[in-house]
């Protein structure tokens, strides 16, 4: 566990060990989620990173026998469960 201190302008420095571990770079965008006073910091992925992940997911689905129609059906089932 690391402790950090907030600066006068609200800045919080992410320790170098954590930045290196997750590959955080200056200019990366983060979101902060507040759940009952517990703050979670998550890096927002770039469009390029998301496209790469989606291509990989498509490859994995294809490998498991999913064609486009079957994959879209699966996505819609997951989305309906979230609503």
pTM greater than 0.85: no
Angle at 33 between CA 52 and CA 21, to 5 degrees: 50
- How far is residue 59's CA from residue 80's CA, in Å, rounded to a whole number? 24
Q: Are residues 51 and 38 in the same domain?
A: no
For the chain, the domain total comes to 2
Q: Are 32 and 57 in the same domain?
A: no
Give average pLDDT by consecutive 10-residue segment, the chain, 83 residues.
Answer: 92 95 93 92 88 89 89 86 75
- Between CA 69 and CA 63 the distance in angstroms is 15
pLDDT score at 10: 95
Give residue 37's Cα distance to chain centre.
21
- Domain match, 39 and 52 both: no
55 and 33 within one domain: no
Taking the C-alpha atoms of residue 71 and residue 63, their distance in angstroms, rounded to an integer, is 12
Whether residue 2 sits in one domain with residue 40: yes
Q: Are residues 40 and 51 located together in one domain of the fold?
A: no
**Which domain, by its residues, includes 29?**
1-44
Question: Helical H runs in the chain?
Answer: 16-22, 47-63, 68-82
Q: Are residues 37 and 6 in the same domain?
A: yes
């Amino acid at each position: 566990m690391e402790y950090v201190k907030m600066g006068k302008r609200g800045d919080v420095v992410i320790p170098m060990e954590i930045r290196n571990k997750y590959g955080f770079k200056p200019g990366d965008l983060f979101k902060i989620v507040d759940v009952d006073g517990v703050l979670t910091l998550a890096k927002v992925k770039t469009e390029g990173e998301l496209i790469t992940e989606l291509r990989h997911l498509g490859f994995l689905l294809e490998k498991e026998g999913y064609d486009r129609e079957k994959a879209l059906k699966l996505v819609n089932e997951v989305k309906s469960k979230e609503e």
